[in-house]
């Protein structure tokens, strides 16, 4: 079973170009079992929104709700995720294993520090995976503040320098090594992800699969 671990829809991510339903339909057609929708959660996305912090979260969740409904329509399991960016730099962090309730409880997590984000995620059973740590504007974070690293990022319009991410992970054996397409446009379809024999239906199932290393990476 194939799973996409890094994808964006245009309803939530400002850089997304594909509606949630089209995204889900495309992955179902590509033979994937599921995907984690990891829209950007940062100041560029949230600060321009009108309303209270709680209202902004609900607006942000709209893309996920559309994707989940499309998943039921097309037979694709859609799990909640996010790609957070913190104030200190341009690094991005994928959160796997969380739920919308996690975001509702911590709407301002994008204004904190990485150790704070790591603690909040782990406290609810989620994990923090640094996305594309060697892309031009990024840098590898302190390994003790991470549960994993994206060692393959399939984004065709960025040089993510994936071999360097793999070297970084090898130097820190506790890190989970993930792969994702970083889907933003139709041509980004199914360049990454994982393949597993595990029956993943919930965020907890996904985290256990990743922690158990019960998967192979798609793309590298």
- Give the Cα-Cα-Cα angle 76, 117, 36 (nearest 5 degrees): 10
Count: domains in the chain: 1
For 194-216, what is each residue's pLDDT tens digit?
A: 999 999 999 999 999 999 999 99
> Three-state DSSP class for 128?
strand
| Mean pLDDT along residues 57-70 | 98
Interatomic CA distance for residues 131 and 7, integer angstroms: 12
What's the CATH number where 167 sits? 3.20.20.140
Position 206 scores a pLDDT of 98
For 118-165, what is each residue's pLDDT tens digit?
A: 999 999 999 999 999 999 999 999 999 999 999 999 999 999 999 999
Instruction: List the domain range (segments joined by +) for residue 70.
Output: 2-218
Interatomic CA distance for residues 67 and 76, integer angstroms: 9
Position 180 scores a pLDDT of 98
Q: Which of 114, 117, 152 is nearest to 132 (CA)?
A: 152
| Mean pLDDT along residues 187-197 | 98
Work out the mean pLDDT of the chain and round it to a whole number: 97
For residue 3 the two structure tokens come to 């799973």
Position 216 scores a pLDDT of 98
For 83-130, what is each residue's pLDDT tens digit?
A: 999 999 999 999 999 999 999 999 999 999 999 999 999 999 999 999
Position 220 scores a pLDDT of 79
Position 153 scores a pLDDT of 98
Q: What percent of the chain has pLDDT over 90?
A: 100
């Amino acid at each position: 079973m194939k799973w996409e671990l890094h994808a964006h829809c245009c309803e939530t991510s400002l850089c997304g170009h594909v509606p949630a339903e089209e995204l889900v339909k495309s992955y179902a057609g590509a033979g994937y079992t599921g995907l984690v929708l990891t829209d950007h959660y940062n100041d560029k996305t949230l600060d321009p929104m009108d309303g209270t912090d709680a209202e902004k979260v609900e607006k942000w969740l709209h893309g996920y709700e559309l994707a989940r409904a499309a998943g039921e329509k097309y037979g694709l399991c859609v799990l909640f995720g996010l790609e957070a960016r913190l104030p200190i730099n341009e690094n991005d962090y994928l959160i796997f294993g969380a739920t919308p309730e996690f975001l509702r409880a911590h709407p301002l997590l994008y204004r904190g520090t990485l150790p704070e984000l790591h603690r909040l995620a782990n406290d609810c059973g989620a994990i923090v995976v640094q996305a594309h740590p060697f892309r031009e504007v990024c840098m590898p974070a302190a390994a003790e503040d991470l549960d994993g690293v994206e060692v393959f990022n399939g984004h065709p319009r960025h040089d993510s320098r994936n071999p360097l991410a793999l070297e970084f992970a090898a130097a820190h054996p506790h890190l989970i090594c993930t792969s994702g397409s970083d889907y933003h446009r139709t041509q980004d379809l199914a360049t990454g992800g994982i393949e597993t024999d595990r029956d993943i239906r919930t965020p907890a199932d996904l985290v256990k699969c990743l922690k158990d290393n019960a998967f192979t990476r798609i793309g590298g």
